[in-house]
Amino acid sequence: MLLTLTNTRVPATDLGYLLHKNPNRVQSFELSFGKAHVFYPEASSDRCTAALLLDVDPVGLVRSRRGPSGEGGMLDQYVNDRPYVASSFMSVAIARIFNSALAGNSKDRPELVTVPLPLSARIGVLPCRGGEQFVRRLFEPLGYQVVAEHHPLDEKFPEWGDGAYYTVEISKNVTLQGLLTHLYVLIPVLDTGKHYWVGKDEVEKLLRHGEGWLQSHPEREAIVSRYLRGFRKLTREALARLTEDESLDPDAEQETKEEQEQAIEAPIRLHDARLQQVAAELKTSGAKRVLDLGCGEGKLVRELLKDKQFEEIVGMDVSYRSLEVAAERLHLDTLPPKQKERIKLIQGSLMYRDKRLTGFDAAAVVEVIEHLDEPRLAAFERVLFEFARPQTAVLTTPNAEYNVKFETLPAGQFRHRDHRFEWTREQFQKWANGVGERFGYAVEFKPVGEEDQQVGAPTQMGVFRQ
Ligand code: SAH
């Protein structure tokens, strides 16, 4: 990956003094994730360009455990875009190699440090989920002219369309320190790789480098949240300190592991919308005795408990730990007896026929099927539709087409670590209609969450009725 910085103010080679790197030499540096080289493709008095080339070692990354966590399996750990795109590694390199310039120091040209120069920066390849529009929304409010070139997924197959990669050039009359600072913060904001280390000191770094411009940036919230990889607690802390808004006190909220996993979907509060919609479907079905299969930590059970129509609610999950959390969250041991009688939490697997599941009016299976191995879905189908056989079943699963809209989700990855598959609308409908035909159910499909014209809604729902 390549970053070039160009100065066109005569004598342009002052850039070398400002960067503390001699235009006549090639210099190489060892970094924890690979090598960096600095050289000057051109160095005349009219125009001087410095290049920072990073040679990231993906195998070294895996060995040093700094690489992607390998959700796509082993191959994904070794074969990924990290060596080729600008990412937080570029920021680390800027901070290490151009540290004086980033801090606004120059031994030989101290008088130039505060002078805006006609500078431009070109980032060879930038992965950008928010697209060109987002690149513009980041740099234009800071006064940059932006040129973005979108690269096709594969030049040989133009019909596949464009990928997530851009070449971006920004230019402005700006101090070198200003330019480097903006790149340092905004490159990781544009990249969505997950390998990035997020910790307390990242908040400090962000606030330090954001001084003087981040607070008044119209995309402040998106920048902070994406820089901190969607970690809500850290994001709230950073925003609170930026705006000195007490109501954003970070300690007001503790982030659980579940919340971290949901961070990808969090911005639209999809989880809540889904549960509300499923509860509404169950209600209109007229069901009194309902099953929540794969109930997890019991959020739907809690929702259903609020409505007296549901006289008996059985939550089942294969995970004992989840059931313990569910019992705790429902305050099962202190509920008034009348309420408590309505709920039962049982451990069981949807892979096996289970007598306890028979005789119910309706069943909810919310975000569960994608956790089952695809070849074993046939067993699940029989368990639910042949043996348990509720009048109504409400199933939800992610709509894979929508994944391109999640800014923090790298292309080609699933939304959760444990997902075995994610289906397009066509795949889900084909499967569900097949099930309906085999077991005598009619299926109605509904979107859940905000619907996009092209890719549909984030979640898809099938309502099966006998
Ligand atoms: N329905 C809940 C949880 C979804 S997560 C919600 O929407 O919040 C998926 C759940 O399915 C997990 O709790 C997991 O333990 C459960 N699960 C996975 N495989 C299962 C199986 N074979 N039988 C029963 N539950 C299973």
pLDDT (tens digit per residue) in 117-175: 999 999 988 887 778 889 999 999 999 999 999 888 788 888 877 777 889 999 999 99
Residue 60 sits at φ, ψ, to 5 deg, of -60, -35
Residue 45 sits at φ, ψ, to 5 deg, of -70, -25
Sorted by where each begins, the domain ranges of the chain are 2-196, 270-465
Q: What percent of the chain has pLDDT over 70?
A: 86
Q: Quick check: 70 pLDDT over 50?
A: no
- Place 443 in a pLDDT band, splitting at 50, 70 and 90: very high
User: Looking at ligand 1, which residue's alpha carbon is closest to its atom 16?
Assistant: 294
Task: Report domain 270-465's class.
Answer: alpha beta
Report the CATH fold assignment for 2-196.
c-terminal autoproteolytic domain of nucleoporin nup98 (3.30.1610)
pLDDT at 71: 41
CA distance 100 to 353: 68
Greater confidence (357 vs 250) lies with 357
Average pLDDT, the chain: 86
- Place 267 in a pLDDT band, splitting at 50, 70 and 90: very low
- Pocket probe for ligand 1: among 265, 290, 313, 318, the residue whose CB has the most ligand atoms within 8 Å is 318
Residue 390 sits at φ, ψ, to 5 deg, of -70, 160
> Ligand 1 center to residue 317 CA distance, Å?
6
> Ligand 1 center to residue 351 CA distance, Å?
12
Whole-Å CA distances, 404 to 167, 189, 452: 19, 17, 11
> Ligand 1 center to residue 446 CA distance, Å?
21
The label of the residue with tokens 């969090």 reads: 266
**Nearest alpha-carbon partner for 54 in 80, 90, 96:** 90
Mean pLDDT of all residues in 220-225: 90
DSSP state of 423: B
pLDDT at 466: 96
pLDDT at 293: 98
> Under 8 Å CB-to-CB from 265, ≥6 apart: which residues?
271, 406, 415, 458
User: 176-190 and 200-209 are packed helices; what angle lies between their axes, rounded to 10 degrees?
Assistant: 140
> Ligand 1 center to residue 416 CA distance, Å?
12
- Place 64 in a pLDDT band, splitting at 50, 70 and 90: low
pLDDT at 49: 98
